């Protein structure tokens, strides 16, 4: 890698860090000015409070696209999502729904391949 390429890597890295870091400094200053204790989401502007869950929803939408975009991939995704949701409703935990979801997804993929 040439010196200019290394420089590009460093600038991209610093820029990415700035995109993650500077808004925190801005919000901390804002929180410090607007409240004494600074605890809780009520100190956030309403539009920002709204964007948090909506960004996660968008991440979920993008991540739904399976590696193999055929009927097997989509079917496994649908069944895997159903299994994840059922386990989440029963356990309300973080780990088990994910483990069962991945296992179900894998089982559907393998079962269809064996059947096919």
**Rounded distance, CA 64 to CA 11, Å?**
32
Examine residue 116 and tell whether it contacts other proteins (CB under 8 A). no
Least Å distance between CB 75 and other proteins?
Answer: 12
**Rounded distance, CA 67 to CA 96, Å?**
23
Q: By rule CB under 8 A, what count of residues binds other proteins? A: 73
Indicate which single residue of 75, 81, 86, 112 sits in contact with other proteins (rule: CB under 8 A).
81
In the shown chain, the binding pattern of residues 49 to 78 toward other proteins, with x for contact by CB under 8 A and - for none, equals xxxxxxxxxxxxxxxxxxxx----x--xx-
36 or 47: CB nearest other proteins: 47
Indicate which single residue of 92, 114, 115, 116 sits in contact with other proteins (rule: CB under 8 A).
92
Helix residue ranges per DSSP H, 35-116: 46-63, 71-91, 95-115
**Rounded distance, CA 101 to CA 60, Å?**
14
Report how far apart, in Å, the C-alpha atoms of 57 and of each of 2, 53, 60 are: 40, 6, 5
Examine residue 34 and tell whether it contacts other proteins (CB under 8 A). no
- Is residue 69 within 8 A of residue 62, CB to CB? The reply is no
26 or 116: CB nearest other proteins: 26
Examine residue 16 and tell whether it contacts other proteins (CB under 8 A). yes
């Amino acid at each position: 890698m040439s010196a200019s390429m290394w420089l590009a890597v460093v600038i991209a890295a610093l820029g990415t860090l700035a995109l993650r870091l500077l808004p925190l400094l801005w919000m901390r200053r804002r929180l410090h000015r607007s409240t004494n204790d600074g605890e809780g989401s009520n100190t956030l502007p309403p539009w920002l409070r709204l964007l948090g869950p909506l960004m996660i929803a968008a991440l979920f939408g993008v991540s739904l696209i399976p590696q193999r975009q055929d009927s097997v991939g989509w079917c496994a995704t649908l069944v895997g999502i159903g299994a994840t949701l059922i386990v989440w409703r029963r356990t309300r935990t973080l780990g088990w729904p994910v483990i069962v979801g991945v296992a179900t997804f894998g089982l559907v993929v393998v079962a269809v391949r064996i059947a096919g």
